[in-house]
Structure 1
Amino acid sequence: MAEHTQLIDAINIRTAVRAYDNEPIDDDTARQLEMTLQPINLLADLDIQLVRDQPKVFAEANASGHLTNAANYLAIVGPKDDDEAKERAGFYAERVVLAATLRGLGTLWVAGSWDRAEAAKHCRVTGAQELYLAVVVGHPKDHLAYQSKSYDELCEIQRAHRPSKSYEQFTALMSDEAREAAPAWFKAGVEAAMKAPSAMNRQPVTFTYNAADDTAAAHIDPAAGDEHWALNDLGIAKLHFQIGAGQGQWAWGDGGLFIHK
């Protein structure tokens, strides 16, 4: 339960950070992140890697002002042409993102604000693998002031950070009556998913509850126009939902079921 509470805290304060302090990630913090990565990669059958001090990967975005001082990233590497692996990548890489958040680091999922070819030079990608996406990671701008803020202040920053789709939009396939009758764990799961990042910030996932067997399902919303990254975003949203709902487990895939335990 302690870990669950911590992950809920991370969800409640995580924001997309675009501006970073020009300060490297120290070796101790890097070791802590690597210790998080090792078991997650084994569990997920992925090869997520922390790459430090490579500002060339974000040179164009830094020069344009879209990003500031971005230099470190999580390289999300997995099997080629494997849809389930892309979903697992979103689920498990977001777990690393939440761990980084709890250590006071800022993060940003990037789909287009990086040089993929340059990034591939600094991480391991075998012939049977591909580099899916990256997550910028580093100390947020003015990070000492950031770290001095209370949990409630950080929650308020998250709440006001960007607009999110509404609960009704996230449950668009349900009737008003079904939404009202859904159990508290389902509502808490959706509320956590509403705070999930997505690669193009389109939040292309919806959820439904089936009272007949007490399960939830997650669906890719084709109207969101994010087909290229939708599986990754589905994995991210599923993780947030699972943390919010508490005990339970997802089946992979579009339409996969969540069994609440």
Structure 2
Amino acid sequence: MGRMEHTQLIDAVNIRTAIRSYDADPIDDDVARQLDMTLDPINLISGLDIQLVRDQPKVFAAANESGHLKNAANYLAIVGPKDDDEARERAGFYAERVVLTATLRGLGTLWVGGSWDREEAARHCRIARDQELYLAVVIGYPEHHLERLQRGYDELVEYQRTHRPTKTYEQFTAGMSDEERAAAPEWFRAGVEAAMKAPSAMNRQPVVFSYNPADGTAAARIDPAAGDEHCAANDLGIAKLHFQIGAGQGQWAWGDGGLFLHK
């Protein structure tokens, strides 16, 4: 594989793209076991129950038939407590952690909110009375994945950079002046640039970051103008994870407006 030396989460941030077309090959049993081994500690830490469900193409039958997806059959079921925005934020944060791990193993992924049959998906995973199925992540081998594995890391980085539009750094730091941006530490800029590569519902990218020089913290807030009310908490969690990976070391407080303390 042309990118064997690129094994860190920041490398996955730099090459992950939304994959809609998959090869028909089932996920290898050994790869599935590795993913399950990743899920166990993440579920323990997060208080969620993220589950890998394989070989259920009926869940995506309509999207596959319309051509919106191709050969989608496997998914991560994102299950968590009912009516809990913080849990939805944690779901975005920790499920995206699984997505990035899968990326490093040559798998493709796609967060879905509408291109699936939620009731059919719920039939194939564990959901307790006090839980609900938030969202799903399609997972599998990208179409022509053997060819894709031969592509170099730099080529995949360039493909990610050019394959979709993204808001600018200035838009991601709306509310900061040019002087404040220039004075912010490098880790803050690196964190925002990683968050710019995060997936979000309908690519709305609803999260805005700021830096407070008085105490050296960063903050992440949902922009209500982004029109992302249904998936905002989930998207906030995803963006926070990408920021944390880009910034290097540090930890977020949960919630809209939660602070990041760099270590």
Partner of 2:163: 161
199-208 vs 16-25, which moves further: 199-208
**Alpha-carbon shift at residue 160 of structure 1 (Å):** 1.1
CA distance in 1, matches of 2:163, 2:44: 34
CA distance in 1, matches of 2:86, 2:80: 10
Letter aligned with residue 178 of structure 1: E
Partner of 2:200: 198
**Alpha-carbon shift at residue 151 of structure 1 (Å):** 0.5
CA distance in 1, matches of 2:208, 2:47: 26
Q: Is the 8 A contact 2:80 2:134 kept in 1?
A: yes
Structure 1 stretches of at least 4 aligned residues deviating more than 6 Å after TM superposition? none
CA distance in 1, matches of 2:232, 2:111: 13
Letter aligned with residue 78 of structure 1: G
Partner of 2:35: 33
CA distance in 1, matches of 2:23, 2:135: 23
C-alpha offsets along residues 34-82 of structure 1, whole Å, 9 cap, x if unaligned?
Answer: 0000000000000000000000000010011000000000000000011
Secondary structure of the residue that 2:203 maps to in structure 1? coil
1:105 pairs with one of 95, 104, 107 = 107
Partner of 1:226: 228
C-alpha offsets along residues 87-124 of structure 1, whole Å, 9 cap, x if unaligned?
Answer: 00000000000000000000000010000000000000
Partner of 2:45: 43
**Alpha-carbon shift at residue 161 of structure 1 (Å):** 1.5
Counterpart check, 1:60 vs 2:62: yes
CA distance in 2, matches of 1:45, 1:255: 21
1:127 pairs with one of 111, 122, 129 = 129
Per the normalisation by structure 2, the TM-score is 0.97
Partner of 1:258: 260
**Alpha-carbon shift at residue 200 of structure 1 (Å):** 2.4
Counterpart check, 1:142 vs 2:135: no
C-alpha offsets along residues 209-247 of structure 1, whole Å, 9 cap, x if unaligned?
Answer: 000000000000000000110000000000000000011
CA distance in 1, matches of 2:127, 2:175: 39
Per the normalisation by structure 1, the TM-score is 0.98
CA distance in 2, matches of 1:224, 1:9: 28
Trace 1:14-33 onto structure 2 (pairs within 5 A).
Answer: 14-33=16-35
Letter aligned with residue 258 of structure 1: F
2:77 pairs with one of 75, 78, 81 = 75
Partner of 2:173: 171
Letter aligned with residue 144 of structure 1: L
CA distance in 1, matches of 2:173, 2:95: 25
Secondary structure of the residue that 2:79 maps to in structure 1? strand
Letter aligned with residue 112 of structure 2: V
Secondary structure of the residue that 2:261 maps to in structure 1? strand
Partner of 2:213: 211
**Alpha-carbon shift at residue 5 of structure 1 (Å):** 6.6
Partner of 1:184: 186
Pairwise CA RMSD: 1.2
CA distance in 2, matches of 1:200, 1:84: 21
CA distance in 1, matches of 2:125, 2:61: 17
2:237 pairs with one of 224, 235, 238 = 235
CA distance in 1, matches of 2:37, 2:7: 20
Q: Is the 8 A contact 2:7 2:104 kept in 1?
A: no
CA distance in 2, matches of 1:209, 1:42: 31
CA distance in 1, matches of 2:139, 2:108: 6
**Alpha-carbon shift at residue 22 of structure 1 (Å):** 0.6
